[in-house]
Amino acid sequence: MKIAVFGSGRGSNFEALLRAKIPNADFSLVISNKKDARILELGSENGIKTKAFKSSEFSEENENIVLDFLLENGIELIVLAGFLRKISATIIQKYSNKIINIHPALLPSFGGIGMYGKYIHEAVLKSGTQFSGPTVHFVNENYDEGPIILQETVPVLFEDSTDDLAKRVLEVEHRIFAKALDLVINGKFEIKGKRVKFC
Ligand code: GRF
């Protein structure tokens, strides 16, 4: 399956996906909105085609620029690995249940606009919840609201700083993202509303 990975930052999740050697996962493209993002270098180092679009080229008005590029390259699945722009509605419709994202908290809590990076872990600590953990989900038209594929919990400790918590969640992200991608590519699944069942 031909996959495009979208990312804006360091790409540690993408690295974990590469390391996992998932059967039938053909990472064909790495796309970013930041031309100096480490994730693009990682793509090049692994012989994968890379492309940086301007942030404005991800907007609804210009959505065909990115969409056409995906179609020209025969992309069948999109993986969002730390991508900080919203995916346009047309791309989401065209790739319905074919876009997956990883979020470093237990959705449906701690998601939505403004919930990215350290802000997520700050909100988790402030809430007093005793558990956090990553969520891998399909992407629909609403931020962080698509059907959930996999989640795993980690404890939130009284002494935790946002960095401590982010680090603990990230370790689990690297494991479950690869597992979820494998399930999506190689497993059979059924989606009913927001619920996903793997058979
Ligand atoms: C991860 O915490 C991921 O959950 C979130 O963005 C971060 C990306 O980190 N969506 P990396 O670039 O994969 O290291």
pLDDT in tens, 124-137: 999 999 999 999 99
- Same structural domain for residues 64 and 122? no
CB of 133 closer than 6 angstroms to any ligand 1 atom = no
Can you point out the beta strands (E) in the chain? Answer: 2-6, 26-32, 49-52, 77-80, 99-103, 131-132, 135-138, 148-151, 154-155, 189-192, 195-198
CB of 129 closer than 6 angstroms to any ligand 1 atom = no
- Same structural domain for residues 43 and 85? yes
Confidence of residue 82 (pLDDT cuts 50, 70, 90): very high
- Same structural domain for residues 36 and 21? yes
Residues serving a catalytic function are: 103
With the most atoms of ligand 1 within 8 angstroms of its CB, the residue from 32, 36, 78, 102 to mutate is: 102
Average pLDDT, the chain: 96
- Is omega for the bond preceding 23 within 30 degrees of 0, making it cis? no
Query: What's 7's domain CATH number?
Result: 3.40.50.170
Domain ends where: 77, 95, 113? 95
pLDDT in tens, 22-76: 999 999 999 999 999 999 999 999 999 999 999 999 988 888 999 999 999 999 9
pLDDT in tens, 1-27: 999 999 999 999 999 999 999 999 999
pTM of the model: 0.97
Provide the number of structural domains found in the chain.
2
Instruction: Label residue 128 exposed, middle or buried (CB < 10 Å: 0-12, 13-18, 19+).
Output: exposed
Residue 60: its pLDDT value, please? 84
- Same structural domain for residues 8 and 48? yes
- Going by alpha carbons, the residue nearest to atom 10 of ligand 1 is 82
pLDDT in tens, 103-152: 999 999 999 999 999 999 999 999 999 999 999 999 999 989 999 999 99
Region 81-85: mean pLDDT is 95
- Going by alpha carbons, the residue nearest to atom 14 of ligand 1 is 12
| Alpha carbon distance 114, 99 (integer Å) | 21
Residue 63: its pLDDT value, please? 81
- Same structural domain for residues 69 and 119? no
In this structure, are strands 154-155 and 131-132 parallel, antiparallel, or unpaired?
antiparallel
Domain ends where: 95, 112, 141? 95
Tokens of residue 29, six digits? 């493209």
Domain ends where: 95, 120, 135? 95
- Same structural domain for residues 87 and 120? no
Q: State which residues form the domain around 3.
A: 1-95
With the most atoms of ligand 1 within 8 angstroms of its CB, the residue from 12, 13, 19, 31 to mutate is: 13
CB 91 within 8 A of CB 6: no
- Going by alpha carbons, the residue nearest to atom 12 of ligand 1 is 11
| Alpha carbon distance 114, 131 (integer Å) | 21
Q: Above 90 in pLDDT, residue 77?
A: yes
- Same structural domain for residues 89 and 181? no
Specify the length of the chain in residues: 199
Residue 51: its pLDDT value, please? 98
Atom of ligand 1 nearest to the CA of 103: 4
